[in-house]
Amino acid sequence: MLIWKKTNTLDVDIFDVWHLAFVGLFAIWSGANLLIATALVVFIGILKIINSDLMKPTFNDLLDAPENNPMTTTHMNYMMNPIIMVFDKIFDKIFPWLDKYDFDAAKLNNKVGFWGSKFAIGIYLGIFVGLLAGQNPTEIFELAFTAAVSLELFSLIGQWFIDSIEPLSQGITDFASKRLKGRTLNIGLDWPFLAGRAEIWAAANILAPIMLLEAVILPGNYLLPLGGIIAMGITPALLVVTRGRIIRMIVIGAIELPVFLWAGTLVAPFVTNMAKNIGAFSRRRCI
């Protein structure tokens, strides 16, 4: 696509290759042959690169950056944009008056403090699961602490991995620049380059208990979210489409969360099967 000038985005976020790998492996597990699975992966890969080009002006606006700012992203989170745009248009027609009640996300995060942190959310979730399982207080405490630490380390360890592949990403960038004779390119990064926006974390704090409630009452759902409880699969896309209007982010996010819960339920047998095949599965870990 770069050679044919169908995109200006160079995807250097090697960490995100797992999204497409997951799609291909799940397609094969569901009965598709290798050719069809490969075609699906290529098709979605093309769509996410086109999407990164389309989002570039919005990223400049959200980051208050000049037009020549090279940062964009090909992360699959943002493939939710078209669906969110539909709900955003519906919001314009039905609830436009709610925008006047929008609030400062940074102030909300400061007020919530520790009690809205990933660690605290892990504690709440651990206690909830322990009570459902009928565990004794010692077991509940152990589960709550384990869940809290796991959730806190989830994004931290992911960031370590991202940092570790930075030299390789930079090497790819330098190589492409030479081959394309100095052509100016946008650089496709992981989604967290927008993580400094307070609206993402304010929406995540509010959507976490909503997701937990929906997981319990949603028909056809058999997934209890842990790592996904902070809704990082949806909040970045919500930020881009709504331009940080927090009430819209929460309302539309609450409507879309069942999609993630049903999707998690759908792929659970595939994930369990793969975990068994690579020796990463034990009954104790799954309780």
Residue 37 pLDDT: 94
Residue 107 pLDDT: 62
Report whether pLDDT(166) > 80: no
Mean pLDDT rounded to a whole number for the chain:
80
Enumerate the domain spans of the chain.
9-286
User: Mean of the pLDDT values across residues 35-61?
Assistant: 91
For residue 268, give Cα distances in angstroms to 20, 128, 210, 220, 225.
17, 21, 21, 13, 12
Report whether pLDDT(114) > 80: no
Q: Note the pLDDT tens digit of each residue in 198-231.
A: 788 778 878 888 888 899 899 999 988 876 777 7
Length of the chain: 287
Report whether pLDDT(129) > 80: no
Percent of the chain topping pLDDT 70: 79
Residue 39 pLDDT: 95
**Predicted structure pTM score:** 0.74
User: Mean of the pLDDT values across residues 45-60?
Assistant: 89
- Which two three-digit tokens encode residue 224? 């209890």
Q: Note the pLDDT tens digit of each residue in 65-97.
A: 777 777 788 888 888 898 999 999 998 888 888
Q: How many CB atoms lie within 10 A of CB 101?
A: 8
For residue 249, give Cα distances in angstroms to 84, 85, 200, 208.
9, 11, 9, 13
Report whether pLDDT(48) > 50: yes
- Render 200-251 in DSSP notation, one character per residue: HHHHHHHHHHHHHHHHHH-TT-----SGGGG-TTTHHHHHHHHTT-HHHHHH
Nearest to 253 by CA among 40, 113, 84: 84
Report whether pLDDT(156) > 90: no
Strand-pair category, 9-11 with 186-189: parallel
User: Mean of the pLDDT values across residues 51-63?
Assistant: 86
Q: How confident is the model at residue 285 (pLDDT cuts 50, 70, 90)?
A: very low
Q: Note the pLDDT tens digit of each residue in 235-273.
A: 889 999 998 888 899 999 999 999 989 999 999 999 888
Q: How confident is the model at residue 41 (pLDDT cuts 50, 70, 90)?
A: very high
